Structure 1
Amino acid sequence: MTPVAVPSLRAERELFADGAPVVLACDEVGRGALAGPVTVGLVIIDTGVKRMPAGLRDSKLLAEPRREAMAPRAAAWVAAWAVGEASADEIDRLGIMACLGLAGARAFAALVEAGAQVDDAPLLLDGNHDWLSPAIERRARVITRIKADRDCASVAAASVIAKVHRDRGMRVSHEEFPVYGWDENKGYSTRAHFAAIDEHGPSALHRHTWLHERPAEAPALFDLGVG
Protein backbone atom coordinates (compact mmCIF):
# COMPACT_ATOMS: atom_id res chain seq x y z
CA MET A 1 0.00 0.00 0.00
CA THR A 2 1.33 3.42 -0.96
CA PRO A 3 1.81 5.59 2.14
CA VAL A 4 -0.33 8.72 2.37
CA ALA A 5 1.71 11.86 1.73
CA VAL A 6 2.25 13.99 4.82
CA PRO A 7 2.46 17.75 4.30
CA SER A 8 5.12 19.85 5.95
CA LEU A 9 6.04 23.50 6.51
CA ARG A 10 9.21 23.25 4.45
CA ALA A 11 8.10 25.56 1.64
CA GLU A 12 6.58 28.05 4.07
CA ARG A 13 9.71 28.16 6.23
CA GLU A 14 11.83 28.84 3.15
CA LEU A 15 9.65 31.87 2.45
CA PHE A 16 9.98 33.03 6.06
CA ALA A 17 13.76 32.62 5.79
CA ASP A 18 13.68 34.92 2.75
CA GLY A 19 12.13 37.62 4.91
CA ALA A 20 8.38 37.14 4.48
CA PRO A 21 6.53 38.04 7.71
CA VAL A 22 3.46 36.09 6.59
CA VAL A 23 2.64 33.42 4.03
CA LEU A 24 -0.76 33.02 2.40
CA ALA A 25 -2.04 29.72 1.07
CA CYS A 26 -4.95 28.97 -1.23
CA ASP A 27 -6.90 26.02 -2.59
CA GLU A 28 -10.24 25.54 -4.33
CA VAL A 29 -12.94 22.90 -4.10
CA GLY A 30 -16.04 22.26 -6.16
CA ARG A 31 -14.41 23.07 -9.47
CA GLY A 32 -15.72 19.93 -11.17
CA ALA A 33 -19.15 19.69 -9.56
CA LEU A 34 -22.42 19.76 -11.49
CA ALA A 35 -24.22 21.80 -8.84
CA GLY A 36 -23.42 24.33 -6.17
CA PRO A 37 -20.67 26.91 -5.88
CA VAL A 38 -16.96 26.77 -6.48
CA THR A 39 -15.28 27.56 -3.17
CA VAL A 40 -11.86 28.98 -2.42
CA GLY A 41 -10.15 28.77 0.95
CA LEU A 42 -7.41 31.25 1.86
CA VAL A 43 -5.31 31.12 5.03
CA ILE A 44 -2.48 33.13 6.54
CA ILE A 45 0.32 31.81 8.70
CA ASP A 46 3.04 33.90 10.34
CA THR A 47 6.52 33.22 11.67
CA GLY A 48 5.07 32.09 15.00
CA VAL A 49 3.23 29.18 13.41
CA LYS A 50 3.28 26.03 15.51
CA ARG A 51 3.55 22.42 14.46
CA MET A 52 0.65 21.54 12.19
CA PRO A 53 -2.32 19.65 13.66
CA ALA A 54 -1.73 15.90 13.74
CA GLY A 55 -3.50 14.23 10.84
CA LEU A 56 -3.75 17.34 8.64
CA ARG A 57 -3.84 16.28 5.00
CA ASP A 58 -5.16 17.48 1.66
CA SER A 59 -8.95 17.34 1.97
CA LYS A 60 -9.16 14.74 -0.82
CA LEU A 61 -7.16 12.33 1.36
CA LEU A 62 -9.47 12.59 4.37
CA ALA A 63 -12.79 10.82 4.80
CA GLU A 64 -15.69 13.14 5.56
CA PRO A 65 -15.80 12.56 9.35
CA ARG A 66 -12.08 13.25 9.63
CA ARG A 67 -12.38 16.41 7.51
CA GLU A 68 -15.21 17.66 9.71
CA ALA A 69 -13.10 17.08 12.82
CA MET A 70 -10.00 18.62 11.26
CA ALA A 71 -11.58 21.85 9.96
CA PRO A 72 -11.88 23.67 13.31
CA ARG A 73 -8.38 22.55 14.27
CA ALA A 74 -6.98 23.83 10.98
CA ALA A 75 -8.84 27.13 11.40
CA ALA A 76 -7.45 27.56 14.93
CA TRP A 77 -3.92 26.68 13.79
CA VAL A 78 -3.61 29.43 11.14
CA ALA A 79 -3.34 33.13 11.96
CA ALA A 80 -6.41 33.98 9.84
CA TRP A 81 -8.62 32.38 7.23
CA ALA A 82 -11.45 33.20 4.86
CA VAL A 83 -13.63 31.42 2.33
CA GLY A 84 -15.03 32.90 -0.88
CA GLU A 85 -17.53 31.41 -3.30
CA ALA A 86 -18.92 31.93 -6.78
CA SER A 87 -22.40 30.58 -7.46
CA ALA A 88 -23.59 28.13 -10.08
CA ASP A 89 -25.35 31.01 -11.85
CA GLU A 90 -22.11 32.99 -11.95
CA ILE A 91 -20.29 29.94 -13.32
CA ASP A 92 -22.89 29.63 -16.09
CA ARG A 93 -22.56 33.31 -16.97
CA LEU A 94 -18.83 33.88 -16.54
CA GLY A 95 -17.15 30.48 -16.86
CA ILE A 96 -15.34 28.41 -14.27
CA MET A 97 -11.92 30.05 -14.59
CA ALA A 98 -13.30 33.54 -14.07
CA CYS A 99 -15.27 32.26 -11.10
CA LEU A 100 -12.22 30.71 -9.48
CA GLY A 101 -10.72 34.18 -9.51
CA LEU A 102 -13.99 35.73 -8.30
CA ALA A 103 -14.24 33.36 -5.35
CA GLY A 104 -10.56 33.87 -4.54
CA ALA A 105 -10.93 37.64 -4.68
CA ARG A 106 -13.86 37.45 -2.27
CA ALA A 107 -11.80 35.42 0.21
CA PHE A 108 -8.88 37.82 -0.20
CA ALA A 109 -11.15 40.84 0.35
CA ALA A 110 -12.52 39.27 3.53
CA LEU A 111 -9.00 38.93 4.93
CA VAL A 112 -8.19 42.53 4.02
CA GLU A 113 -11.42 43.76 5.62
CA ALA A 114 -10.46 41.85 8.78
CA GLY A 115 -7.20 43.80 8.92
CA ALA A 116 -4.75 41.28 7.49
CA GLN A 117 -1.55 42.78 6.05
CA VAL A 118 -1.28 40.90 2.79
CA ASP A 119 0.19 43.32 0.24
CA ASP A 120 3.16 41.74 -1.56
CA ALA A 121 3.02 38.69 0.69
CA PRO A 122 3.91 35.33 -0.89
CA LEU A 123 0.86 33.20 -1.62
CA LEU A 124 1.13 29.46 -2.25
CA LEU A 125 -1.48 28.37 -4.80
CA ASP A 126 -2.16 24.73 -5.56
CA GLY A 127 -1.70 23.79 -9.22
CA ASN A 128 0.31 25.09 -12.14
CA HIS A 129 -1.98 27.88 -13.36
CA ASP A 130 -2.25 31.26 -11.66
CA TRP A 131 -5.94 32.12 -11.87
CA LEU A 132 -5.76 34.30 -8.76
CA SER A 133 -3.29 37.14 -9.47
CA PRO A 134 -5.48 39.05 -11.94
CA ALA A 135 -8.49 38.76 -9.66
CA ILE A 136 -6.67 40.24 -6.65
CA GLU A 137 -4.90 42.86 -8.79
CA ARG A 138 -1.54 41.22 -8.03
CA ARG A 139 -1.56 42.47 -4.45
CA ALA A 140 0.11 39.24 -3.32
CA ARG A 141 2.99 37.34 -4.93
CA VAL A 142 1.35 34.14 -6.14
CA ILE A 143 3.58 31.07 -6.27
CA THR A 144 1.99 28.13 -8.08
CA ARG A 145 3.00 24.68 -6.91
CA ILE A 146 1.76 21.36 -8.21
CA LYS A 147 0.43 19.16 -5.38
CA ALA A 148 0.77 22.02 -2.89
CA ASP A 149 -2.41 20.76 -1.19
CA ARG A 150 -0.61 17.46 -0.61
CA ASP A 151 2.83 18.80 0.31
CA CYS A 152 2.33 22.20 2.01
CA ALA A 153 0.63 22.23 5.40
CA SER A 154 -0.81 25.72 4.93
CA VAL A 155 -2.41 24.79 1.61
CA ALA A 156 -3.76 21.56 3.10
CA ALA A 157 -5.38 23.66 5.84
CA ALA A 158 -6.98 25.92 3.23
CA SER A 159 -8.19 22.84 1.37
CA VAL A 160 -9.85 21.31 4.44
CA ILE A 161 -11.48 24.58 5.52
CA ALA A 162 -12.87 25.19 2.03
CA LYS A 163 -14.07 21.63 1.55
CA VAL A 164 -15.91 21.43 4.85
CA HIS A 165 -17.48 24.86 4.27
CA ARG A 166 -18.75 23.82 0.83
CA ASP A 167 -19.97 20.41 1.99
CA ARG A 168 -21.99 21.97 4.78
CA GLY A 169 -23.58 24.36 2.31
CA MET A 170 -24.50 21.49 0.00
CA ARG A 171 -26.10 19.60 2.88
CA VAL A 172 -28.21 22.67 3.62
CA SER A 173 -29.16 22.89 -0.08
CA HIS A 174 -30.07 19.19 0.04
CA GLU A 175 -32.88 20.04 2.45
CA GLU A 176 -34.43 22.24 -0.25
CA PHE A 177 -33.69 19.87 -3.15
CA PRO A 178 -33.52 16.37 -1.60
CA VAL A 179 -34.10 14.45 -4.84
CA TYR A 180 -30.51 15.05 -6.04
CA GLY A 181 -28.77 13.43 -3.07
CA TRP A 182 -26.45 16.35 -2.35
CA ASP A 183 -26.04 15.21 1.24
CA GLU A 184 -23.99 12.36 -0.22
CA ASN A 185 -22.64 13.46 -3.61
CA LYS A 186 -22.19 17.18 -2.70
CA GLY A 187 -23.16 18.12 -6.25
CA TYR A 188 -20.59 15.94 -8.03
CA SER A 189 -21.22 13.48 -10.86
CA THR A 190 -22.75 10.19 -9.78
CA ARG A 191 -25.12 7.87 -11.62
CA ALA A 192 -27.82 8.64 -9.06
CA HIS A 193 -27.31 12.38 -9.48
CA PHE A 194 -27.65 12.17 -13.26
CA ALA A 195 -30.71 9.94 -12.87
CA ALA A 196 -32.34 12.54 -10.61
CA ILE A 197 -31.63 15.27 -13.16
CA ASP A 198 -33.16 13.11 -15.90
CA GLU A 199 -36.28 12.50 -13.81
CA HIS A 200 -36.81 15.91 -12.21
CA GLY A 201 -34.83 18.29 -14.41
CA PRO A 202 -32.07 20.56 -13.15
CA SER A 203 -32.52 22.86 -10.16
CA ALA A 204 -31.65 26.52 -9.77
CA LEU A 205 -28.40 25.43 -8.14
CA HIS A 206 -27.20 23.32 -11.05
CA ARG A 207 -24.61 24.58 -13.49
CA HIS A 208 -26.90 24.36 -16.49
CA THR A 209 -24.13 24.85 -19.05
CA TRP A 210 -22.41 21.75 -17.64
CA LEU A 211 -25.32 19.37 -18.21
CA HIS A 212 -25.24 19.06 -22.00
CA GLU A 213 -22.50 16.45 -21.99
CA ARG A 214 -21.85 13.73 -19.47
CA PRO A 215 -19.40 10.86 -19.10
CA ALA A 216 -20.60 7.52 -20.41
CA GLU A 217 -20.11 6.02 -16.95
CA ALA A 218 -20.24 8.34 -13.94
CA PRO A 219 -18.64 6.96 -10.76
CA ALA A 220 -20.90 5.45 -8.14
CA LEU A 221 -19.77 7.97 -5.57
CA PHE A 222 -17.62 11.06 -5.77
CA ASP A 223 -17.35 12.35 -2.23
CA LEU A 224 -13.68 13.28 -2.14
CA GLY A 225 -14.22 16.61 -3.86
CA VAL A 226 -11.58 16.31 -6.54
CA GLY A 227 -11.39 19.50 -8.58
Structure 2
Amino acid sequence: MSVAPTLEVETALWDRRPLVIGMDEVGRGALAGPVSVGAFALTRCDVVPEGLRDSKAMTARARERTAPIVREWGIAAVGHASAAEIDAVGIMAALAIAGRRALEELHAAGVDVVSSALLLDGSHDWLSPRLRRPLAITLRPKADRDCGSVAGAACVAKVERDALMVAHDAEHPGYGWASNKGYAAAVHMDAIRTLGPTRLHRRTWLKSDGAVSASAAA
Protein backbone atom coordinates (compact mmCIF):
# COMPACT_ATOMS: atom_id res chain seq x y z
CA MET A 1 0.00 0.00 0.00
CA SER A 2 1.42 3.39 -0.99
CA VAL A 3 2.21 5.94 1.71
CA ALA A 4 0.58 9.36 1.66
CA PRO A 5 2.95 12.27 1.02
CA THR A 6 3.50 14.82 3.77
CA LEU A 7 4.34 18.53 3.93
CA GLU A 8 7.46 18.10 6.08
CA VAL A 9 9.87 19.38 3.42
CA GLU A 10 7.52 22.16 2.36
CA THR A 11 7.15 23.34 5.96
CA ALA A 12 10.91 23.82 6.24
CA LEU A 13 10.91 25.76 2.96
CA TRP A 14 7.95 27.91 4.02
CA ASP A 15 10.02 29.13 6.95
CA ARG A 16 12.21 30.87 4.37
CA ARG A 17 9.87 31.53 1.43
CA PRO A 18 6.15 32.40 1.20
CA LEU A 19 5.39 29.86 -1.53
CA VAL A 20 6.63 26.41 -2.44
CA ILE A 21 6.38 25.28 -6.06
CA GLY A 22 6.58 21.50 -6.39
CA MET A 23 7.69 20.27 -9.81
CA ASP A 24 7.82 16.89 -11.52
CA GLU A 25 7.97 15.52 -15.05
CA VAL A 26 5.87 12.92 -16.83
CA GLY A 27 6.33 11.27 -20.20
CA ARG A 28 10.11 11.33 -20.14
CA GLY A 29 10.45 7.71 -21.29
CA ALA A 30 7.66 7.69 -23.88
CA LEU A 31 8.37 7.20 -27.58
CA ALA A 32 5.60 9.52 -28.73
CA GLY A 33 4.01 12.69 -27.48
CA PRO A 34 5.41 15.50 -25.37
CA VAL A 35 7.42 15.46 -22.21
CA SER A 36 5.42 17.39 -19.64
CA VAL A 37 6.29 19.15 -16.39
CA GLY A 38 3.83 19.99 -13.66
CA ALA A 39 4.39 22.98 -11.40
CA PHE A 40 2.23 23.34 -8.30
CA ALA A 41 2.34 26.48 -6.13
CA LEU A 42 1.27 26.04 -2.53
CA THR A 43 1.05 28.42 0.42
CA ARG A 44 1.58 27.24 4.00
CA CYS A 45 -0.93 24.60 5.03
CA ASP A 46 -0.93 21.37 7.01
CA VAL A 47 -3.27 18.99 5.17
CA VAL A 48 -2.68 16.99 1.99
CA PRO A 49 -5.80 16.12 -0.04
CA GLU A 50 -7.12 12.68 0.75
CA GLY A 51 -6.12 10.10 -1.84
CA LEU A 52 -3.14 12.01 -3.25
CA ARG A 53 -0.19 9.69 -3.75
CA ASP A 54 2.79 9.25 -6.03
CA SER A 55 1.06 9.47 -9.41
CA LYS A 56 2.71 6.22 -10.55
CA ALA A 57 1.04 4.41 -7.63
CA MET A 58 -2.44 5.76 -8.49
CA THR A 59 -4.87 4.29 -10.97
CA ALA A 60 -5.93 6.45 -13.91
CA ARG A 61 -9.37 6.82 -12.36
CA ALA A 62 -7.87 7.89 -9.02
CA ARG A 63 -5.66 10.48 -10.74
CA GLU A 64 -8.61 11.89 -12.69
CA ARG A 65 -10.67 12.08 -9.51
CA THR A 66 -7.87 13.71 -7.51
CA ALA A 67 -6.49 16.22 -10.04
CA PRO A 68 -9.43 18.69 -9.71
CA ILE A 69 -9.06 18.55 -5.92
CA VAL A 70 -5.37 19.33 -6.26
CA ARG A 71 -6.15 22.32 -8.50
CA GLU A 72 -8.46 23.69 -5.79
CA TRP A 73 -5.75 23.13 -3.15
CA GLY A 74 -3.17 25.40 -4.84
CA ILE A 75 -2.28 26.82 -8.26
CA ALA A 76 -1.25 24.30 -10.90
CA ALA A 77 0.32 24.64 -14.33
CA VAL A 78 1.65 22.17 -16.87
CA GLY A 79 4.27 22.89 -19.52
CA HIS A 80 4.97 20.68 -22.53
CA ALA A 81 7.86 20.19 -24.91
CA SER A 82 6.98 18.48 -28.19
CA ALA A 83 8.52 15.42 -29.79
CA ALA A 84 10.08 17.72 -32.40
CA GLU A 85 11.71 19.76 -29.64
CA ILE A 86 13.00 16.60 -27.97
CA ASP A 87 14.53 15.54 -31.27
CA ALA A 88 16.07 18.97 -31.77
CA VAL A 89 17.64 19.59 -28.35
CA GLY A 90 17.54 16.28 -26.45
CA ILE A 91 15.39 15.11 -23.57
CA MET A 92 17.16 17.00 -20.75
CA ALA A 93 16.93 20.36 -22.50
CA ALA A 94 13.33 19.60 -23.46
CA LEU A 95 12.52 18.94 -19.80
CA ALA A 96 13.90 22.36 -18.94
CA ILE A 97 11.86 23.98 -21.72
CA ALA A 98 8.67 22.32 -20.45
CA GLY A 99 9.50 23.31 -16.87
CA ARG A 100 10.10 26.93 -17.83
CA ARG A 101 6.77 27.00 -19.69
CA ALA A 102 5.00 25.69 -16.58
CA LEU A 103 6.61 28.42 -14.46
CA GLU A 104 5.67 31.06 -17.03
CA GLU A 105 2.08 29.86 -16.82
CA LEU A 106 2.19 30.20 -13.02
CA HIS A 107 3.63 33.70 -13.40
CA ALA A 108 0.79 34.62 -15.77
CA ALA A 109 -1.65 33.37 -13.11
CA GLY A 110 -0.16 35.80 -10.58
CA VAL A 111 2.32 33.55 -8.78
CA ASP A 112 5.53 35.28 -7.65
CA VAL A 113 7.84 32.59 -8.98
CA VAL A 114 11.05 34.50 -8.23
CA SER A 115 10.37 34.70 -4.48
CA SER A 116 9.17 31.08 -4.25
CA ALA A 117 11.05 27.96 -3.21
CA LEU A 118 11.10 25.38 -6.00
CA LEU A 119 11.02 21.74 -4.92
CA LEU A 120 12.22 19.55 -7.78
CA ASP A 121 11.85 15.78 -7.86
CA GLY A 122 15.13 13.91 -8.37
CA SER A 123 18.84 14.45 -7.76
CA HIS A 124 19.67 16.37 -10.96
CA ASP A 125 18.75 19.99 -11.65
CA TRP A 126 17.55 19.81 -15.25
CA LEU A 127 15.58 23.04 -14.90
CA SER A 128 18.19 25.76 -14.29
CA PRO A 129 19.93 25.66 -17.71
CA ARG A 130 16.83 27.10 -19.42
CA LEU A 131 15.87 29.67 -16.78
CA ARG A 132 16.41 33.36 -17.45
CA ARG A 133 17.55 33.94 -13.86
CA PRO A 134 18.59 31.71 -10.95
CA LEU A 135 15.79 30.47 -8.71
CA ALA A 136 15.83 28.87 -5.26
CA ILE A 137 15.76 25.17 -6.19
CA THR A 138 15.78 22.28 -3.73
CA LEU A 139 16.39 18.79 -5.13
CA ARG A 140 14.69 15.86 -3.42
CA PRO A 141 14.87 12.25 -4.65
CA LYS A 142 11.48 10.52 -4.41
CA ALA A 143 9.78 13.87 -3.82
CA ASP A 144 6.85 12.68 -5.95
CA ARG A 145 6.29 10.02 -3.30
CA ASP A 146 7.13 11.97 -0.15
CA CYS A 147 6.19 15.62 -0.76
CA GLY A 148 2.61 16.79 -1.19
CA SER A 149 3.37 19.69 -3.54
CA VAL A 150 5.39 17.49 -5.90
CA ALA A 151 2.84 14.69 -5.80
CA GLY A 152 0.21 17.28 -6.73
CA ALA A 153 2.31 18.57 -9.62
CA ALA A 154 2.84 15.04 -10.94
CA CYS A 155 -0.83 14.10 -10.64
CA VAL A 156 -2.03 17.16 -12.57
CA ALA A 157 0.67 16.76 -15.23
CA LYS A 158 -0.04 13.07 -15.70
CA VAL A 159 -3.77 13.64 -16.15
CA GLU A 160 -3.20 16.45 -18.65
CA ARG A 161 -0.63 14.53 -20.70
CA ASP A 162 -2.74 11.37 -20.69
CA ALA A 163 -5.69 13.36 -22.05
CA LEU A 164 -3.50 14.72 -24.84
CA MET A 165 -2.42 11.22 -25.82
CA VAL A 166 -6.01 9.95 -25.83
CA ALA A 167 -6.92 12.81 -28.19
CA HIS A 168 -3.90 12.01 -30.40
CA ASP A 169 -4.98 8.36 -30.51
CA ALA A 170 -8.14 9.42 -32.33
CA GLU A 171 -6.01 11.35 -34.85
CA HIS A 172 -3.50 8.53 -35.33
CA PRO A 173 -5.32 5.20 -34.77
CA GLY A 174 -3.43 1.94 -34.58
CA TYR A 175 -0.70 2.86 -32.08
CA GLY A 176 -2.78 2.23 -28.97
CA TRP A 177 -2.02 5.60 -27.40
CA ALA A 178 -5.34 5.68 -25.57
CA SER A 179 -4.03 2.87 -23.40
CA ASN A 180 -0.21 3.05 -23.60
CA LYS A 181 0.06 6.90 -23.69
CA GLY A 182 2.98 6.73 -26.12
CA TYR A 183 5.17 4.30 -24.17
CA ALA A 184 6.80 1.24 -25.71
CA ALA A 185 3.93 -1.25 -25.38
CA ALA A 186 3.90 -4.18 -27.80
CA VAL A 187 0.99 -2.82 -29.84
CA HIS A 188 2.78 0.52 -30.15
CA MET A 189 6.05 -1.06 -31.28
CA ASP A 190 4.23 -3.28 -33.82
CA ALA A 191 2.44 -0.23 -35.24
CA ILE A 192 5.68 1.71 -35.62
CA ARG A 193 7.11 -1.18 -37.64
CA THR A 194 4.01 -1.58 -39.82
CA LEU A 195 2.66 1.98 -40.08
CA GLY A 196 5.85 3.93 -39.53
CA PRO A 197 6.40 6.85 -37.15
CA THR A 198 4.08 9.86 -37.02
CA ARG A 199 4.87 13.53 -36.48
CA LEU A 200 4.34 12.88 -32.77
CA HIS A 201 7.10 10.29 -32.50
CA ARG A 202 10.53 11.09 -31.13
CA ARG A 203 12.29 10.00 -34.27
CA THR A 204 15.80 10.21 -32.82
CA TRP A 205 14.66 7.54 -30.33
CA LEU A 206 13.84 5.04 -33.08
CA LYS A 207 16.11 2.90 -35.21
CA SER A 208 15.45 2.43 -38.91
CA ASP A 209 13.69 -0.86 -38.24
CA GLY A 210 11.30 0.71 -35.71
CA ALA A 211 13.13 -0.61 -32.64
CA VAL A 212 14.05 1.70 -29.78
CA SER A 213 17.48 3.27 -29.88
CA ALA A 214 19.71 2.21 -27.00
CA SER A 215 20.54 5.85 -26.34
CA ALA A 216 16.95 7.08 -26.46
CA ALA A 217 16.61 7.95 -22.78
CA ALA A 218 20.24 8.86 -22.14
Note whether the superposition's TM-score is higher than 0.5. Answer: yes
SS in 2 for 1:199: helix
Deviations 1:129-149 (A, max 9, x none): 001122223442111110000
Unaligned segments of structure 2, at least 5 residues: none
TM-score w.r.t. length of structure 2: 0.93
* Aligned mates of 2:8, 2:34 — CA distance in 1: 32
* Aligned mates of 2:14, 2:86 — CA distance in 1: 36
Q: Does 1:77 align with 2:46?
A: no
Tell me which of 18, 21, 43 is aligned to 1:21: 18
* Aligned mates of 1:6, 1:115 — CA distance in 2: 29
Residues 82 and 139 (structure 1), Cα distance of their counterparts in 2 relative to 1, 3 Å cut = farther
Deviations 1:156-188 (A, max 9, x none): 000000000000000000000111000000000
Q: What's the RMSD between the two structures over aligned residues?
A: 1.4
Q: Does 1:46 align with 2:67?
A: no
SS in 2 for 1:123: strand
Deviations 1:3-26 (A, max 9, x none): 312210000011112x31111110
* Aligned mates of 1:148, 1:194 — CA distance in 2: 31
Q: How does 1:36-185 map to 2 (within 5 A)?
A: 36-47=33-44, 49-78=45-74, 80-185=75-180
TM-score w.r.t. length of structure 1: 0.89
Alpha-carbon deviation of 1:50? 4.9
Bigger mean CA deviation after superposition, 167-176 or 104-113: 104-113
Identity of matched residues, %: 49
Amino acid at match of 1:125: L
* Aligned mates of 2:134, 2:65 — CA distance in 1: 33
* Aligned mates of 2:134, 2:109 — CA distance in 1: 16
